[in-house]
């Protein structure tokens, strides 16, 4: 780990910082202001062709603003912003032809049927009529919407609308897909189904930039993550990098008798990388360690013949919630619900 400018912790230094022709998205020093508010304050990020980037942050962090600039909906105030090698401001139309966007709210016309929605979007991508209709049929099939293809989208469930929305953004076979909080507001089953669709797209080679407040979602779908808070990048790396940053892994023991805590700590001292933490009341011992599962085996070997009765033992790695708490001093959920400053909005706009 090393610290680079503006306090951003650059984690996996090797492959991650190599920037080259294979980046589908390049953002350098992106600044976006809304009046007196600075929504984005020098964001840098790259997304390699064919990979999935998870853009994480609480509400109001600036995630949607990043997506809006990248998809040509907003103009940056400063910085270099390129998608598939094209400048988003100068080459907006060519960028639009190469990307797909699924916003936070399923942007489907509820009076049109599923099929008509997709056909319309296909036509607006300037596909010939027959091709637009063929793609519409294909995508409805792929997103399990064939049965509902002839019904107005008004009658669709929330999950179906989201799927139709994603299908619409895929009509033109985009090289880069932007998904802004694709599972917000979905029930757990629809969320799982959505994750499978996204994973399939990623496997098919589509470059994806995904914003989410759900750490589990990013952990599951993204190759790399960028965490932003208040318009700045506060961390980046793979999920494992971010977890490692929070203090790595620890062995956790729950013992039958609290009196044995000292004995266990003494015997396992050679494995500990930092002082262990024990709690008499819960009869638990937490021991920071390094290494993989072999540490667990080694620990059990060291305890052989000690007569200590172990009720539960495990190698625990921090999850992204721990990461968020460490980075921002706030739990992700907490920030997400209590955030007092809403994301600013452009020109003369009321929410």
Alpha carbon 83 to its chain centroid, in Å, reads 19
Which CB, 88 or 194, lies closer to other proteins?
88
Q: Which two tokens stand for residue 173?
A: 């076979």
- In the complex, what is the shortest distance from the CB of residue 189 to other proteins, in angstroms, rounded to a whole number? 24
Supply the minimum distance, in Å, between the C-beta of residue 300 and other proteins: 55
Torsion of CA 119, 121, 125, 128, to 10 degrees: 10
Dihedral angle, C-alpha 220, 224, 225, 226, nearest 10 °: -170
Q: Residue 104 or 254: which CB sits closer to other proteins?
A: 104
Q: How far is the CB of 24 from other proteins (least distance, A)?
A: 16
Q: At 234, give phi and psi (nearest 5°).
A: -110, -15
Closer CB to other proteins, 72 or 245, in the complex: 72
Closer by beta carbon to other proteins, 120 or else 258:
120
Q: Which is nearer to other proteins, 7 or 150 (CB)?
A: 150
Note the residues at the interface with other proteins (CB under 8 A).
68, 71-75, 93-94, 96-97, 99-101, 103-112, 116, 120-121, 123-126, 152, 168, 345-351
Q: What are phi and psi of 80, to 5 degrees?
A: -105, 125
Q: How far is the CB of 56 from other proteins (least distance, A)?
A: 21
Strands (E) across the chain are located at 2-3, 9-10, 23-34, 37-48, 52-56, 78-83, 86-87, 99-102, 176-180, 207-212, 224-229, 232-237, 250-255, 277-279, 284-288, 310-316
Residue 61 Cβ, how far from other proteins at the closest point, in Å?
16
Give the H or E element holding residue 123: helix 114-124
* CB-based contact 268:251 (threshold 8 Å): yes
**C-beta of 162: minimal distance to other proteins in Å?**
12
C-beta of 97 vs 296, nearer to other proteins: 97
């Amino acid at each position: 780990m090393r610290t680079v400018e503006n306090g951003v912790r650059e984690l996996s230094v090797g492959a991650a910082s190599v920037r080259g022709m294979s980046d589908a998205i390049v953002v350098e020093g992106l600044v976006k202001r809304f009046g007196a508010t600075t929504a984005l304050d020098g964001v840098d990020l790259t997304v390699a062709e064919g990979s999935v980037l998870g853009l994480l942050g609480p509400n109001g962090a600036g995630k949607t603003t990043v997506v809006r600039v990248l998809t040509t909906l907003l103009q940056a105030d400063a910085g270099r912003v390129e998608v598939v090698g094209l400048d988003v401001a100068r080459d907006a139309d060519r960028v639009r032809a190469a990307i797909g966007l699924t916003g936070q709210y399923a942007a489907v016309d509820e009076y049109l049927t599923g099929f008509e929605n997709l056909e319309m979007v296909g036509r607006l991508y300037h596909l010939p009529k027959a091709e637009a209709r063929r793609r519409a049929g294909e995508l409805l099939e792929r997103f399990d919407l064939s049965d509902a293809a002839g019904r107005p989208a008004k009658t669709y469930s929330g999950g179906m609308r989201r799927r139709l929305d994603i299908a619409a953004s895929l009509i033109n076979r985009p090289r880069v897909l932007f998904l802004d909080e694709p599972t917000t507001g979905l029930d757990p089953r629809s969320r799982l189904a959505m994750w499978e669709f996204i994973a399939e797209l990623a496997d098919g080679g589509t470059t994806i930039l995904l914003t989410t407040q759900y750490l589990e979602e990013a952990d599951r779908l993204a190759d790399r993550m960028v965490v932003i808070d208040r318009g700045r990048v506060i961390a980046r790396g793979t999920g494992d990098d971010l977890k490692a940053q929070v203090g790595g892994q620890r062995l956790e023991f729950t013992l039958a008798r609290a009196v044995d805590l000292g004995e266990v700590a003494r015997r396992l001292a050679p494995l500990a990388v930092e002082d262990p933490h024990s709690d008499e009341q819960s009869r638990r011992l937490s021991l920071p360690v390094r290494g993989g599962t072999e540490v667990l085996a080694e620990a059990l070997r060291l305890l052989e013949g000690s007569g200590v009765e172990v009720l539960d033992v495990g190698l625990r790695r921090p999850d992204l919630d721990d990461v968020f708490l460490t980075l921002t001093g706030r739990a992700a959920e907490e920030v997400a619900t209590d955030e007092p400053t809403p994301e600013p909005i452009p020109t003369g706009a009321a929410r």
